[in-house]
Structure formats: structure tokens, C-alpha cells
Amino acid sequence: MLSLQILDCGNNQLTMLPPLNSRLTYLYCHNNELTSLPSLHYVSLYTLDCRNNLLTSLTYRPSFEVVYCNENNGLISLTGFENYFGFLEWSETPIYDLLDGDQENIIKFNWFREHYFLSRLRKKFISWMWKSREERIKEQFHYKHLIRFMEESDDLENTDLDPFLENFCKCK
């Protein structure tokens, strides 16, 4: 197993993967029920195919050349992908729809998502942290609440984040 370089475990209804081999270069885990991936910190993946799962976040690794993460209905965080020059397929995800597929808006969205929830809901978050379970917190801070806020906002005429972020920064 230490020399395993290609792992194809797609189409198996998996809910989790074991820790990955550091020599793994190709991971095909598409069409499963994964909510997260194991740590990719020591893995040198060139190709990651994690499309059609239940992932909520994905973090960039310098070794990535090809990433398929499309069709993840809960994907709201692509950390580090704003300057990614490899192939990234992330269509049919909430973050893609919200940002009109513009990869440059990922950094703005990630900044907004973190700062909005930390500043606006700080007291509630602290109290919930002590009184409830992690799953309840995840539900409360789910991307659908951000999308609803943006749709209901008087300051936001469309999903373009630039004017919204400017108004948001003035409110602080």
C-alpha cells in the first residue's frame, strides 16, 4: 500500500476515506457521499476527482494540476484556489453559482464569508459554541443563510460581491 499511486474508489457510496498514502498522485473518489476528504497535507496529488459528493470545502495543494469538484451541492469554500492556474472544474456548486463562475471572486467570497459571520454573529456563535453540538452550528452557518441574506439585502441588486463588500465594510 505504501507504493500506491492511483486510487479509484468512485461510485461506491463511501462516506469517508482512510488516511492517504504520501505517494498518491491520482485520486478518483467521484460519485460517493463524502462530506470531507482526509488530510492532503503530505499527499502530492496531481489529479483530484471528487465531483458529485457532499463536500463543503476544499483546500488548494501546490501539487494540484487537475481538480474536478463540480456537483458538490454544499461546496461553499475553495481555499487557496483564487490564484490557481491548473484545471479547476467547480460548476454546479453553490459557490460557482453565487460568483458567476469567476474564479477571481473566490478570495472576496471567502473573506466575506469569514468576516461576515465572525463580526455580525459573534455573540451568538460564542453562546452556541458552548450550548449546542457542532452539527447544529454547521446548519446555522450553512451557505443557504448567506445566499438568503444576499437575496434579501436592499444594498445588493445582484450577486456581484464588489458593491456589497464595499457597503459591508462601511457598516463596520
Full 3-state SS string of 36-73: CCCCCCCCCCCEEECCCCCCCEEECCCCCCEEECCCCC
Q: Is the pTM of this model over 0.75?
A: no
- Helix ranges (H only) for the chain are 94-98, 106-120, 122-131, 134-140, 143-152, 161-171
Residue-level pLDDT at 102? 74
C-alpha–C-alpha distance, residues 70 and 102, integer Å: 14
pLDDT in tens, 83-139: 788 898 988 888 777 777 777 777 677 666 666 666 666 666 656 555 555 565 556
Residue 108 — φ and ψ, nearest 5°?
Answer: -65, -45
Task: Out of 37-46, 59-68, 93-102, 142-151, pick the least confident.
Answer: 142-151
Half-sphere exposure in the Cβ direction for 164 (13 Å, CA): 23
Task: Give percent of the chain above pLDDT 90.
Answer: 30
CB under 8 Å to 172, separation ≥6 — which residues?
119
